[in-house]
Structure 1
Amino acid sequence: MTTTQAPVRREYVEVSGTSLSYLSSGADQAPPLLLLHGTFWSRVWLPVLPALGTVRRCIALDLPGFGRSDGELDPDQATVPALAGTVLAAADTLGLDSFDLGGHDIGGGIAQHLAATSGRVNKLVLMNSVMFDSWPVPAVERFRDPQVRVATTAAELLEARAVSTQRAVKRTLSEEELADYLSPWTEPARHSSWMAMAAAADPHYTLDLVPLLQETHIPTRLVWGTEDDFQKVSFAHRYVTEITGSDLVEVNGKHIPTEDAPDAVAHAILEHLGT
């Protein structure tokens, strides 16, 4: 893989009156690669953006109420179809008629929805993504109970995010890295938006997509940290068995393999996009 690296910038786009943030890398005239997060934020893509930006115009979007974006989600706005609509609105504003698409965690569920229904996805990358009935995991599912959401304090949610973030990475994050990952969850709107995404987590969204994905034949690469405790690699093996046109690259790492094996993840993505 090339040692050339592209700079990463933080930029903003207004969608339906809300300022959405995104990390960008690469030349504006390069083919676009839109990258989505789930229960984390665009920070999960940061380690691979300098490499991906050498050949693509990368846009790692923060959904409303996440990361550095404004807005606040409620459970109705945080379903996979609703968030897919938000992503398409952002793509429209950014002038992306069609694009390659990557999704991590629940962002992978949104990516599957877009691949199956929008007609605008050229190639698809799913990184340690939700699929079939692999989700919600217990740490997320408990927030589907409205009483749990009401009773959870900001300090409790922040501590839960700290535990989940470190569990998502095989190596030990530095204090600075962990603080960076947790930095969005110091604001009430971020707490509400995260719990709304958890409340809206429902496997029927991905299960219902399977027949459509089997018909679309969109070239799809799954990139997976094989020691993921949240999204087991067995679901990735099932996906490549059932969905035509998909393959799997396993890398050393856990739920956020960009932190454990950034070079391997970037290589796997670039190889897929270049074929």
Structure 2
Amino acid sequence: MPTALLHHTVDGPACAPPLLLGNSLGTSTALWDGVARGLSATRRVVRWDLPGHGRSAAGLIAPGATVADLADHVLGLADHLGLDRFSYAGVSLGGAIGLHLAVHHPERVDRLGVLCASASFGDPRPWRRRAALVRRAGTAPVADTAAARWFTPGFSHPGLLADLRATAPEAYAACCDALAAYDLRGVLASIGAPTLIMAGREDPVTPPAHAREIADAIPGAALIELPRTSHLAPAERPEAVLVALRGHFAPAREAGMAVRRAVLGDAHVDRAQARTTLLTEDFQDFITRYAWGEVWTDPTLDRRERSLITLAALVAHGHWDELALHAVAARRNGLTPEEISAVLRHMAVYCGVPAANKAFATVQRALDDVL
């Protein structure tokens, strides 16, 4: 197992379930910029750069490398972060690494997303020719034609194209060696992790037929084809990719329970769960799935902003018990006493001084109880 680490970034709560995101050949962690923030609402999202890409050292890979070598680097990173088991999503070469992990290290991967990838990237000879070209002339020749392979007509991402030009040629070529040797077509049926396959309908590199081959081979795999999308789906269609991956990696109840505990605290949620009866269990499930799993996980507003809104709404409707609960939650979400006071003074203007008086007393008692 390699000892040197891939460059990586981590977003999301430290206690949330981990999700690793892998990149395609020639790109960096910037590939996931439009998706990672939304995923990190309920996941500990780890993005990493391939060797010689982004900020990872080129010396982490050598000529004749394999996808297994790259997968070992991912496992080394996971071990360094203390992640015994994780979810994984990857694009193209990053997706191939995910498939390799799910086949050869099934105990490490609990859920898998494979985007714009293949079980085999075709005849190895073009990959070897590309490796030879890049070793001879650098990445400029492949960068000049990358937009046509990566994006639909009219779309561009200058940052990713710049990343390709900045990629270390020897590392890029070694990744081409890995793609040339890669073929998992005979072993995909052994994958047991719940798997989502995504394809861009206008992808010339890994067309939808490649995705269907993977989906047909993995038991129970789901397949989504994105219209008006080429090879780098997270860059070109971040909203669609985010919705699909959130649904796959954080089903509403699971996501809702994680956020509910993060906002209200384990003690409160445990008490609510212990009091659940045949009468209330469906309602508890509804609250977890809808209020916490869909509304509170929507990345349009952060948790501080949602606490501000919630406090105001509870004062306006006189829900004093819920106000006490959410005053404590607001502190947990990062609001200061001064900010909570500002909300209540604001409500004095629009809901009346008597309501604000009651709100201040309720909130003070709630905060005193937890100090």
TM-score by length of 1: 0.81
Instruction: Supply the distance in 1 between the matched residues of 2:123 and 2:165 (Cα, whole angstroms).
Output: 20
Does 1:236 find its partner at 2:211?
Answer: yes
Q: What residue number does 1:214 align with?
A: 189
Q: Is the 8 A contact 2:201 2:226 kept in 1?
A: yes
Residue 10 of structure 2 is aligned to residue 28 of structure 1: no
- The gaps in structure 1 that reach 5 residues or longer are 1-14
Which of 99, 104, 108 aligns to 1:120? It is 108
Higher relative contact order (CA 8 A, sep 6+): 1
- Indicate the percent of aligned positions where both proteins have the same amino acid: 27
In 2: Cα distance, 1:121 partner to 1:115 partner: 6
Q: How does 1:130-149 map to 2 (within 5 A)?
A: 130-131=118-119, 133-135=120-122, 140-144=127-131, 146=132, 148-149=133-134
User: Which amino acid counterpart does residue 220 of structure 1 have in structure 2?
Assistant: T
Instruction: Sort the Cα spacing of 1:139 and 1:67 in 2 relative to 1 into closer, same or farther, 3 A.
Output: farther
Aligned to 2:175: 197
In structure 2, what is the equivalent of residue 70 of structure 1? 57
The answer (yes or no) to whether the contact 1:162–1:178 under 8 Å persists in 2 is no
- C-alpha distance in 1, partners of 2:124/2:237? 24
Residue 139 of structure 1 and its aligned partner are, at CA, apart by 5.9
| Equivalent position SS for 1:206 | coil
How many pairs were matched up? 246
In the TM superposition, what is the alpha-carbon distance from 1:50 to its structure 2 partner?
Answer: 1.2
Pick the structure with more strand per residue. Answer: 1
Cα shift at 1:172: 3.7
1:254 Cα deviation after fit: 0.4
Query: More displaced, 33-42 or 195-204?
Result: 195-204
What CA distance in whole angstroms lies between the structure 1 residues aligned with 2:10 and 2:148? 25
Deviation at 1:242, TM superposition (A): 2.0
* Superposition deviation, residue 228 in structure 1: 0.2
Specify whether residues 193 and 271 from structure 1 end up closer, same or farther in structure 2 by C-alpha distance, changes over 3 A only.
Answer: same
Matched residues in 2 for 1:138 and 1:262: separation?
Answer: 33
Deviation sequence 1:78-135 (CA, Å, 0-9, x none): 311111111101100011110001111111111111111111100000000121x333
Amino acid at match of 2:111: K
Cα deviation, 1:226-275, whole Å, max 9, x if unaligned, reads 11010010111122222102011111310011122111111001111134
Q: Which 10-residue stretch deviates more, 217-226 or 88-97?
A: 217-226
SS in 2 for 1:33: strand
Deviations 1:16-44 (Å, cap 9, x if unpaired)? Answer: 245x3223321111110001123123222
The amino acid of 1:205's aligned partner reads D
CA contact (8 A) 1:166 1:178 kept: no
Q: In terms of mean alpha carbon deviation, does 46-55 or 90-99 score higher?
A: 46-55
Aligned residue among 143, 168, 171 for 1:161: 143
The amino acid that maps onto 2:215 is V
Inter-CA distance 100–256: structure 2 relative to 1 (3 Å threshold): same
- Residues 23 and 159 of structure 1: CA distance in aligned 2, closer, same or farther (over 3 Å): farther
Which piece of structure 1 moves more, 218-227 or 41-50? 41-50
Whether the 8 Å contact between 1:80 and 1:205 is mirrored in structure 2 is no
Q: 2:163 aligns with which of 178, 183, 200?
A: 183
Residue 253 of structure 2 is aligned to residue 269 of structure 1 = no
Q: SS of the counterpart of 1:75?
A: coil
Structure that is richer in helix per residue: 2
